[in-house]
Structure 1
Amino acid sequence: MSFADLGLSDELLRAVGESGYSDPTPIQRGAIPPVLMGRDLIGIAQTGTGKTASFVLPMIDVLAQGRSRARMPRSLILEPTRELAAQVAENFEKYGKYHKLSMALLIGGVSMGDQVKALEKGVDVLIATPGRLMDLFGRGNILLTGCNLLVIDEADRMLDMGFIPDIEEICTKLPKSRQTLLFSATMPPPIKKLADRFLSNPKSIEVARPATTNALIEQALVPVASRQKAATLTRLLKAEDVTTAIIFSNRKTTVRDLAQSLKRAGFATGQIQGDMEQADRIRELDRFKSGEINILVASDVAARGLDIKGVSHVFNYDVPWHPDDYVHRIGRTGRAGAKGKAFTLATPDDAEAVANIEKLTGGPIPRLAGDDDAAPPSVDETADAPAPAREARSRTRTRTRGGRGRREEAPEKVEAAEAAPPAPKRADPPAAAQRPAPRRDDRRRGAPEPADDGWNGPIPSFLDVGLTR
């Protein structure tokens, strides 16, 4: 089946062809025809399946007829993060090049005055994060009574970030006769309840089992001692097939230290983490996309929605505490039909987190031969022992308890503190691993990261004003 078989207009087919695509993905084959027919839709699809185009393409043709009015958008797309919102806008810009549709992007970190000016001109497509939309609505800068098409994207992520009450309020302000499309990687009960309340006889499409990983991604778990993680990562990065790589860590301070350590080791490395200014994060991402650097160290603010072609490898320097984050992290490789590799460095203390990931994904992650000293004594067992005792225990395999002392936090809003044992004598780990080990009580508290809605990508040309073609 080709895109021409889905009922899209000639202008749209031309734009799709010029973008280098000829065959639709399963979610696109299933979603585009019912959207064109005006039906409500529930799409269950994991990251990297072409989900965005499955609603962007038919929306362009649906909106081709009609005219926008000031402060009354004709359609609304809700995204959980700035990054995802901007990437959807880029899709509209790319595929709608032969249509005269106007857009506005309502996200944080951008001048509200410029966004209000764009709305006053009238827009066909409004792409927004819930917080900024509710803010402008409360100020009387936007009316939703003329919006006849609503897309709720990444619904399970909306749930994680606490946006469901906002979405429910937004839905009550839209016309009841609208068309509603809901996309999610999973369908937990709160999302099912949301769909039952606000969708009318929806067509349901599921192209992959929820929370499964991409079959094109070769996964491997590397058992390693905490004190050998940096050395093991350096060895893996020196493999000949590593062309571009994203390295994920649970903590923003580790991102900084690891990026600096890899730079000193001669790697072309950049970083993205929550303490960076927006302009700096955009600059780093642009350097990575252009090939100026080929290694990007990131915290989980970059895990979801980051769409960069040609990423050959993903490395989990830290095992993520939330199993869903593992799926989204490794989904940065193996995109658009390409193959990729994902390596996860796992210490004995990560046993519980690894087990939760394997339970979610439905199978064990293949193990690679790792560090010979992959089972060091736990921090708690050695922290208060005399130096000779600690050295003796470091040569003996002792029992550890996996995942101890870690608290569950909302994804992307808090990055918990990691336990960092003392630095080794012969390895050269980043500075984060050279600090004294924290006490067990400190590990339980975690280190809050400033709330961040995740925009790391380049600012499209239509950010300051509505783009009218």
Structure 2
Amino acid sequence: MTHPFDKFNLSPYLIEAISEIGFNEPTDIQNKVIPEIKKGRDIIGQSQTGSGKTHAFLLPLFNKLNPERNTVQIVITAPSRELAEQLYNAASQLAEHSEQEIIVQSFIGGTDKNRQIQKLSNKQPHVAIGTPGRLLDMINANALLTHTAQFMVVDEADMTLDMGFLEDVDQIASRLPEKGQMLVFSATIPQKLQPFLKKYMKSPLIIEVENEQVIADTVDNWLISTKGKNKIDMIYNLLTIGQPYLALVFANTKEHVDDIAHSLKKKGLDVAVIHGGISSRERRRVMRQVQNLDYQYVVATDLAARGIDIEGISHVINAEVPQDLDFFVHRVGRTGRNQLPGTAITLYGPDDEQDIQIIEKKGIEFKPKEIKNGEIVDSYDRNRRDKRKPVSKEVSFDPEIHGMRKKAKKNIKPGYKRKIERKKQAKRQRARRLNRRNDSD
């Protein structure tokens, strides 16, 4: 029986591996990228989270890999430990199905460096995956011999740049053969990334894949105003109304994450905290507990949470509108995966109005909601005033009459409408007399 991925002429073990994890149909980026990688092209792949890009580069690279050569053949960098581990797990799953041994090794901070050096002295991996700093440490120690690698992948390049790791990636790339194949994947391609791309890539093919749906159609996308309300109380109510299966709360800084988590703990919630200020050992411990569903509530920053890939996240709450609006899609993309229902809730204040409008211009629609009497109910459209029928420009504005009408609303008395009409009639009569006088002159 044929498999949809057979058209890529992949090794049988790779078809077997992706069948095991339920890949029944190639995604858009896989259809576009896999054939070009097989041709040996340098590629800049631009796509959002959840597009299937990891296997878009792993499958064709593993297809080119030669297990009989006991040398490093593929180097993959990821900007965070969580993302590196995610890539390592995906690559290991493919390798497990190969009849010939394929060695995949991860190199991330917070692990025993000397032990890794010792292990490398015995045998080099075919595939080296890791964070830029630790990979470079291994290369500089002459432990990881990457000069034999024909392929390099820079995953999440925009995040690599944001976290200040591009210089390390530059140094790693400089140790690889000039004739190697370079693949760069990123949600966005910032201008500051261009010098690196020009330095290491030969006439790269740019493949941009826009998700047909920026947000999965299984996600309810709510917008709730915080004006005049206590934000912590609102977050607490959102977390406790309806008992979410697993809720992920995003804040923009580690300080805000700590503040929110501390306040929620005082209210009796057992909350996990994930941000860059936590030690690597603690982060790994918390991530394992989150994976095991030991926590129902997680508060995290954007960069730390990019490595959280848990199918059961039922709710995402944006305690703040992200400073980088591209992160909005990354946040919301944590829920509603694999056709499971999800709810994304964004809290916003008056200062966030412009950012919300920019997000809406990306094709993202919000449902206005509010918390009322312990329930989440429909609210009014915040743009309702703009949608009203405009007043005809021919109607003149009389400040005196307007003032009387305004006063009437506050203190309505019998005969007040007649008084306004008499006032208007007197003004019209004065206007006619003035016109006649001007005509006679």
Counterpart of 1:219?
221
Question: Are the structure 2 counterparts of residues 51 and 315 from structure 1 closer, same or farther at C-alpha, using a change threshold of 3 Å?
Answer: same
SS at match of 1:333: coil
Q: Is the 8 A contact 1:44 1:210 kept in 2?
A: no
Q: So what's the TM-score if we normalise by structure 1?
A: 0.71
Counterpart of 1:440?
none
Counterpart of 1:393?
none
* Greater relative contact order (CA < 8 Å, ≥ 6 in sequence): 1
Question: Are the structure 2 counterparts of residues 197 and 279 from structure 1 closer, same or farther at C-alpha, using a change threshold of 3 Å?
Answer: closer
Q: What is the 5 A alignment of 1:106-125? A: 106-120=107-121, 121-125=123-127
Structure 1 residue 108 displacement after superposition: 1.2
Counterpart of 1:437?
none
Question: Are the structure 2 counterparts of residues 206 and 215 from structure 1 closer, same or farther at C-alpha, using a change threshold of 3 Å?
Answer: farther
CA distance in structure 2 between the partners assigned to 1:210 and 1:152 by the alignment: 25
Structure 1 residue 234 displacement after superposition: 2.6
SS at match of 2:84: helix
CA distance in structure 1 between the partners assigned to 2:220 and 2:153 by the alignment: 33
Which of 184, 187, 191 is residue 185 of structure 1 equivalent to? 187
CA distance in structure 1 between the partners assigned to 2:163 and 2:360 by the alignment: 24
CA distance in structure 2 between the partners assigned to 1:16 and 1:127 by the alignment: 20
Query: 1:1-29 CA deviation, whole Å, 9 max, x = no partner?
Result: 82233222211111211223222221122
Q: Is the 8 A contact 1:259 1:297 kept in 2?
A: yes
Q: Is the 8 A contact 1:311 1:332 kept in 2?
A: yes
Q: 1:96 is matched by which residue type in structure 2?
A: A
CA distance in structure 2 between the partners assigned to 1:260 and 1:314 by the alignment: 19
CA distance in structure 2 between the partners assigned to 1:315 and 1:129 by the alignment: 28
Counterpart of 1:98?
97
Question: Are the structure 2 counterparts of residues 66 and 149 from structure 1 closer, same or farther at C-alpha, using a change threshold of 3 Å?
Answer: farther
Query: 1:71-125 CA deviation, whole Å, 9 max, x = no partner?
Result: xx22111111111111100101112212211122222111111221233211100
Counterpart of 1:31?
33
Counterpart of 1:377?
none
Which of 235, 242, 252 is residue 240 of structure 1 equivalent to? 242
Counterpart of 2:283?
281
Q: Is the 8 A contact 1:186 1:210 kept in 2?
A: no
CA distance in structure 1 between the partners assigned to 2:181 and 2:67 by the alignment: 16
Structure 1 residue 156 displacement after superposition: 1.4
Counterpart of 2:78?
79
Q: Is the 8 A contact 2:154 2:183 kept in 1?
A: yes
SS at match of 1:221: strand
Counterpart of 2:437?
none
Please identify, of 101-110 and 224-233, the stretch whose mean Cα deviation from structure 2 is larger: 224-233
CA distance in structure 1 between the partners assigned to 2:357 and 2:215 by the alignment: 15
Q: Is the 8 A contact 1:145 1:174 kept in 2?
A: yes
Query: 1:334-369 CA deviation, whole Å, 9 max, x = no partner?
Result: 33444422111112343455455456x355644323
Which of 5, 10, 22 is residue 8 of structure 1 equivalent to? 10
Bigger Rg, which one: 2
Instruction: Give the gaps of 5 or more residues in structure 2.
Output: 374-441
Q: Is the 8 A contact 2:276 2:304 kept in 1?
A: no
Aligned length: 368
Q: 2:273 is matched by which residue type in structure 1?
A: Q
Q: Is the 8 A contact 1:249 1:318 kept in 2?
A: yes
Q: Is the 8 A contact 2:80 2:304 kept in 1?
A: no
Query: 1:242-265 CA deviation, whole Å, 9 max, x = no partner?
Result: 322101123434434433544555
Counterpart of 1:55?
57
Instruction: Give the gaps of 5 or more residues in structure 1.
Output: 373-469
Structure 1 residue 227 displacement after superposition: 4.5
CA distance in structure 1 between the partners assigned to 2:8 and 2:343 by the alignment: 33
Aligned CA RMSD, in angstroms, stands at 2.8
SS at match of 2:368: coil
CA distance in structure 1 between the partners assigned to 2:164 and 2:258 by the alignment: 28
Q: What is the 5 A alignment of 1:112-261? A: 112-120=113-121, 121-208=123-210, 212-214=214-216, 216-225=218-227, 227-240=229-242, 242-261=244-263
Please identify, of 228-237 and 79-88, the stretch whose mean Cα deviation from structure 2 is larger: 228-237
